[in-house]
Chains A and B, each alone.
Chain A
Amino acid sequence: MNAIQVEHLCKRFGTVTAVNDVSLTVREGETFGFLGPNGAGKTTTIRLLTGVLTPDAGSVRINGIDIHRHPLDAKMQMGVIPESSTVYGDLSAEQNLHLSAKMYGMPRAVREKRIDEILLQLGLNEKRRLLVRTFSKGMKQRVSIACAIIHRPRVLILDEPTSGLDVQSRRLVIETIHHMNEQGSTIFLTTHNIEEANTLCQTVCIINKGKIVAQDSPERLKKMFDTTQSVEVSFDRTVTRDLFAAEGILRAEPCGDKWRLYTDNPDWVLKYLVGCAERESLGITSLTTSGPSLEEAFVHLTECA
C-alpha cells in the first residue's frame, strides 16, 4: 500500500494557482524529498496533505484514508512538523509533549513513558521543565519534532525541518529522521538543501510554479543532465580565469579558493591542468572530479519550466 497517494490536487488563492494538478505517490517506508524554489507551492502542498487547507480539486490519501473525508482517522496516522517551530512558548517542553500526546489520545502511563524516552532521545531532558520561549531556535525545533513523533506516526511530514538550524541541531534532526525511517515511518520532507535531499531521500520530486516537473530517484534525476561533469582544482598561487580558456572547458567558476571547471570530458581537463601546472610552475594543492549534481538537475528543471 502507498503511504501517501495524491491525485490531481489543485489549490487556487484568488487568481493565483498555488498547486496545479499535482499527483504523486510515496511508498510505505520511503523517504521522499519535495523540492522547489521559493513560492513553488511546497508549503501549500504540505498544508493540503496534512488537512490544514481544503483543496479545490483532487484527493489525498494517507495509508489509504482520504484526509478530507476522514480527517481524524488520517491525521492519527501522521506526525507533522510545520515550517516554523510551532510549539507553545508559554508551556514547558514537557507540557507541550503532554498536549500533543493528549491530542493523539495516548493514555497517561504510555504518555509519560514515551515523553521520558523522547526527551532523552532529543537531548531535552535537562530542560524539560523550562518554558519553550526561553529556548534557542534549534531546541524549539527539537520540541516541535518531539511533538510530531510522540505517537510514533506511520507517516512523518516535515516542512523544511533543518532550515536555519546550527550544525548540531541539524545533525540531530537528520538522525531523528533516519531513526524514524528505520523504525518503519514513511518520511515526506521539503527542503531547500539539495545535498540533504540527495543523501536522505530515495525519491525526489521537484515542484515549480505549482506543477510537478520531475519525480525520480536522486541518481536518475542527476543522470537526466549527465552531459556536464566538473573538475575542482586549487593551486598554490592565485590564478586568473584566463588559465582556463581552453576548448574542452565549458565554463569556469571560482569556488572559494578553488576553481570549478565544467566539461564534457574530465579526462582531457585533468591532463590539461597538469600540463598548465608544469608550464606555469604551479603546484596543484587539490584536484577532484565530480559527476552531475542534483543541484544542477534542480536548477535546470526549475529554470526551464
Chain B
Amino acid sequence: MMKVPLFLRGILVITGKNMRLYYTKPPVLMFGVLFPLFMFFAFFVGRHLDLTTFFPAFLAMMLFFTASSVGPLITPWEKREKTYERLLSYPVTQDSIILGDVTAGAIFGIGISLLVWIASALFIPVAVMNTGLFVLAFILGTLSCAALGVLLASPAADSPPNVMIFSNLIRFPLIFISGIFVPLVDMQGWGLALAYCSPLTYLVDLFNAAMSGKSAFSPFIDCGVLILVSAWFILAARVIQKRNMMKGM
C-alpha cells in the first residue's frame, strides 16, 4: 500500500531539487523565458494591434512555454549525468519523480508568467474581470503545460539537446493553431478543427474569459479539458517511464 506521507515528501524534495538545479539551465531560460518574449516582440510589437485584446493569448503563450520548458530537460539531464539511477534508489516512487518534475515546471510557469503579467500591467491597461477564473487559468494552465513537458521527456534517452528539439517540434506548431495569433472566431475549416485538438486553445480561451469576459467555449469546458489533458499527460508519462524501466531505463 502507498505510504502517503513518504510519497508526498518525495514529491516535495524532488520539486525542491529540480527548482534549485534546473531553473537556471540555459535551455530552460532560452526556451522558457527568452523565446516567448521574442515571439511577443515579433508578432505584436509595431503592428498596430490592440495589445489589450491580444494580451490574454500572449499570457497563455508565456505560461505554455515557461511551464513546459523545465520538464523536458530534467529526466534526460539526470540520465546523462547518471543521477537518475541514484534518484530511483532513494525511497521515492517513479510517480513522486513525475509529479515532482510537473510541480517544478508548474511553479516556474506561474512565477515567470506572474512577473510578466505584473510588468505588463505597468504599460498595458490589462484588466481581470473574473479573478477566480484568472487564478484557475493560471493553475490549470501551468499544470497541463508542465505535464506536457514531462511527457515530452519520457520516451527519450539521455540527450537533453535531442529532447529539447523534439519538444520544440511539438510545442511550436501548437502556438500557431491555438488562437494566439489568429483568434478562434477568425479560424475556419482545418485550422479550426486543429485548434479544437490543441489543449492550448482552451487555456487561451480561459484567459480570454477571465480577462475580457469574451470566450468561445464555456469556462467549464475549458477547465474540464485542461484537467483531462493534464491527467492524460501525467498518466501517459507514467506508462512510458514504467515501460522504460522494464526495458532497462
Which one of A46-54, A193-201, A284-292 is at the interface? A46-54
CB distance from B100 to the nearest CB of A (A): 11
Residues of A within 8 Å of B6, CB to CB, are 72, 105
User: Which residues of chain B come closer than 8 Å to A104, judged between CB atoms?
Assistant: 90-91
- Set B82, B88, B245: member contacting A84, Cβ < 8 A: B82
Q: Decide if B119 is an interface residue (CB 8 Å cutoff).
A: no
Question: How extensive is the interface on chain B, given as a class?
Answer: 20 to 34
Whose C-beta in chain A lies nearest to the C-beta of B91?
A75
Contact B92 A103, beta carbon cutoff 8 Å: yes
With known contacts A87-B83, A99-B17, A13–B88 Cβ distance under 8 A = no
Is the CB–CB distance between B245 and A53 below 8 Å?
yes
Contact B90 A91 (CB under 8 A): no
Closest-CB distance, B15 to chain A (whole angstroms): 11
What class of interface size applies to chain A in its complex with B? 20 to 34
Contact residues, A42-69 vs B (CB, 8 A): 44, 47, 50-54
- Name the prevailing secondary structure of the B interface residues: helix
Across the interface, B86 reaches (CB within 8 A) one of A51, A53, A80, A91, namely: A80
Contact of A52 among B2, B7, B10, B89 (CB under 8 A): B89
Whether A138 sits at the interface, judged by CB under 8 Å, is no
Are A90 and B21 closer than 8 Å at their CB atoms?
yes
Say if the beta carbon of A71 comes within 8 Å of chain B.
Answer: yes
B47 CB-CB contact with A under 8 Å: no
Bitwise interface map of A from 77 to 89 toward B, beta carbon under 8 Å scored 1, else 0: 0101011111111
Given contacts A53-B245, A91-B21, contact A100 B90 (CB under 8 A): yes
* Residue from A51, A91, A103, A105 with most neighbouring chain B CB atoms (10 Å): A103
Residues from chain B with Cβ under 8 Å of A52 in the complex: 85, 88-89, 245, 249
**A218, B82: Cα distance in complex, Å:** 32
The reply to whether A75 and B85 contact each other, CB–CB distance below 8 Å, is no
- List chain A residues, Cβ under 8 A from B16: 102
Q: Mark B235-249, 1 if CB is under 8 A from A, else 0.
A: 000000010011111
A147 interface residue, CB < 8 Å from B?
yes
Cβ A76 vs Cβ B20 within 8 A: no
Report if B81 contacts A (CB, 8 A). Answer: yes
A236 within 8 A of B: no
Q: Which residues of B contact A226 (CB under 8 A)?
A: none
Chain B residues numbered 76-128 whose CB sits less than 8 Å from any CB in chain A: 81-83, 85-86, 88-93
B13 in the interface (beta carbon within 8 A): yes
How far, in angstroms, from A75 to B89 measured CA to CA in the complex?
A: 7
**Whole-angstrom distance from the CB of B12 to the nearest CB of chain A?**
8
Given known A51-B88, A75-B89, A82-B86, contact A88–B21 (CB-CB < 8 A): yes
Cβ of A73 under 8 Å from chain B:
yes
B51 to chain A, nearest CB (A): 39
**Are B86 and A13 neighbours in the complex by a CB distance under 8 Å?**
no
A87 cross-chain contacts in B, Cβ below 8 A: 83, 86
B48 within 8 A of partner (CB): no
Q: Which residue of B lies closest to A147 (CB)?
A: B86
Q: Is the CB of A72 within 8 A of B248?
A: no
> Which residue of the partner chain A has the closest CB to B24?
A90
**Shortest Cβ distance from residue B86 to the other chain A in the assembled complex, whole angstroms:** 4
Contact B83 A76 (CB under 8 A): no
Against A, the Cβ 8 Å flags (1 = close, 0 = not) of B1-26 are: 01100110110010011001100000
Instruction: Give Cα A89–Cα B83 distance, bound, in whole angstroms.
Output: 10
CA distance A53 to B247 in the complex (A): 8
| B130-152 contacts to A (CB < 8 Å) | none
Query: For residue A83, which residues in chain B have a CB less than 8 angstroms away from its CB?
Result: 82
Q: Which B residue's beta carbon lies closest to that of A90?
A: B21
Taking A91-B20, A91-B21, A103-B13 as contacts, is the C-beta distance between A75 and B90 under 8 angstroms?
A: yes
Q: How far apart sit A13 and B85, CA to CA, in the bound complex (Å)?
A: 18
> Can you name the residue of chain B whose Cβ is closest to the Cβ of A81?
B86
Assembled-state Cα–Cα distance A144/B85 (Å): 12
Q: How far is the CB of A188 from chain B (nearest CB, A)?
A: 13
A47 proximity list for chain B (CB < 8 A) = 85, 249
Partner of A88, one of B2, B83, B88, B93: B83
The answer to whether B91 touches A76, judged by C-beta atoms less than 8 angstroms apart, is: yes
Task: For the complex, give the distance between the alpha carbons of A83 and B247 in Å.
Answer: 19
Are A103 and B248 in contact (CB-based, < 8 A)? no
Which of B's residues lie within 8 Å of A, judged by CB? 2-3, 6-7, 9-10, 13, 16-17, 20-21, 81-83, 85-86, 88-93, 242, 245-249
| 8 pairs from A and B in contact (CB 8 Å cutoff) | A44-B248, A50-B88, A52-B85, A52-B249, A53-B246, A73-B91, A82-B89, A86-B82
Q: Residues on A close to B: CB < 8 A?
A: 13, 44, 47, 50-54, 71-73, 75-76, 78, 80, 82-91, 95, 99-100, 102-105, 144, 147
Q: Can you list the 6 inter-chain pairs with the closest CB atoms, starting with the nearest?
A: A80-B89, A75-B91, A103-B90, A86-B86, A52-B88, A50-B89
